[in-house]
Each structure stands twice: as structure tokens, then as C-alpha cells.
Amino acid sequence: MSKTAIFYFTGTGNSLAVARELAAKIGAALVPVASTIGKAGVETDAEVVGFVFPIYDFKAPKIMEELVARLASVNTKYLFAVCTYGIAAGQSLKRFGKTVEEQGGYLSGGFAVAMPHTGVGCRFVSRSNRTRLLEASLGRTETIAGYIERRLDGTIESSRALPALVRPWMLRTLPILVRFVGRL
């Protein structure tokens, strides 16, 4: 297998868990994006480069976009991205793919992995639902690993946010959100 690197950014650990699981399946080196801060250019001799990150406000974190802009030889790599989300991935992977294209690269695959929601109102997610999401994420990483190992191309996942926002547990968070927004 060619050398593979996964650049990851994590806030609460969900993305790190997915990155570790995926790295173990495809034999990739894990690189924390924080280790690249302050570097004018980021070099890697990996032929396959992945990006794993959480969704913030239905998009990739700015630190990931900045990494892509500093990554050398992005046009010669097989690139993939995996986002973790608690509500919905939205169009975040398509937007991230455009960021990659602006730097001369091509995102061959973009995958969304549902994880326990960690934002406002997350305490309303039941323990059994959290367990179900974590177990399902293992199956997702298996599927993603197979895609990457076969160097497939063309899958960029997306979802609609509105159906996710009308889930019963999300509706129970509305009073909390209203109070929170009222304090701003």
C-alpha cells in the first residue's frame, strides 16, 4: 500500500476517534492539524491524503481550509475527507471539495459520519442513541476504508439540515436555544 496520511482536527474527540479507526484500517499515519499551525508550507510524501474534521456551522473548520491552502503538491495526491456531525453534514463536503479544487487538487471522496451531538442541547440525546451512533460509526469507517483502498472516485456525501433539526430530541432543545440566543 502506498504511504497514507490523515490530517485531523478534533474538538471533543469524535473526529479523533473516527480518524484513529480509519487510520488503523488503512495503515495511515495520523497528523494533528494543530502541528501544522505557523508553517508556511506543509509537506507530506504520502500519496494518499485524508482530512478528518467535525462540522461547525454546516462547514469545515477554517483551520482545515487553511491547511489545504498550505499543503504542497495537493494536485498530485489522492485526496479524501471525512466529516463528523451531530445534526447534519449539509453541503459541507461539497464546499470543502471546492476549497481543494481552488488549490489545484481534487477530492476523490467525501464521507459524513454521524456521531453524538456535542453542542447546545446534547444532553437530550439518550445513552442508547449515543451508543447506537458510536457503533454505526465503526461500520461507516469500514465502508470508507474500502473506498480508499480501491482508490475509488466520485462520492461526495451531503444531507439536508432541516429534517435533522425537526427530530424530537432537537425540538426539546428549542427552549434552551431561545434562552441562549436571548442572552447574546
Global pTM? 0.81
pLDDT in tens, the chain (184 residues): 459 999 999 988 899 999 999 999 999 999 999 999 999 999 999 999 999 999 988 899 999 999 999 999 999 999 999 999 888 888 999 999 999 999 999 999 999 998 876 665 555 566 666 566 666 667 889 999 999 999 999 899 887 655 555 556 566 666 776 776 777 6
Q: Could you tell me the residue ranges of all domains in the chain?
A: 4-183
Length of the chain in residues, anyone?
A: 184
Indicate the helix (H) or strand (E) that contains 14.
Answer: helix 14-26
Indicate the helix (H) or strand (E) that contains 29.
Answer: strand 29-32
DSSP three-state, residue 167: coil
The domain made up of 4-183 is a member of CATH 3.40.50.970: no
Task: Find the distance separating the first CA and the last CA of the chain, reported in whole Å.
Answer: 51
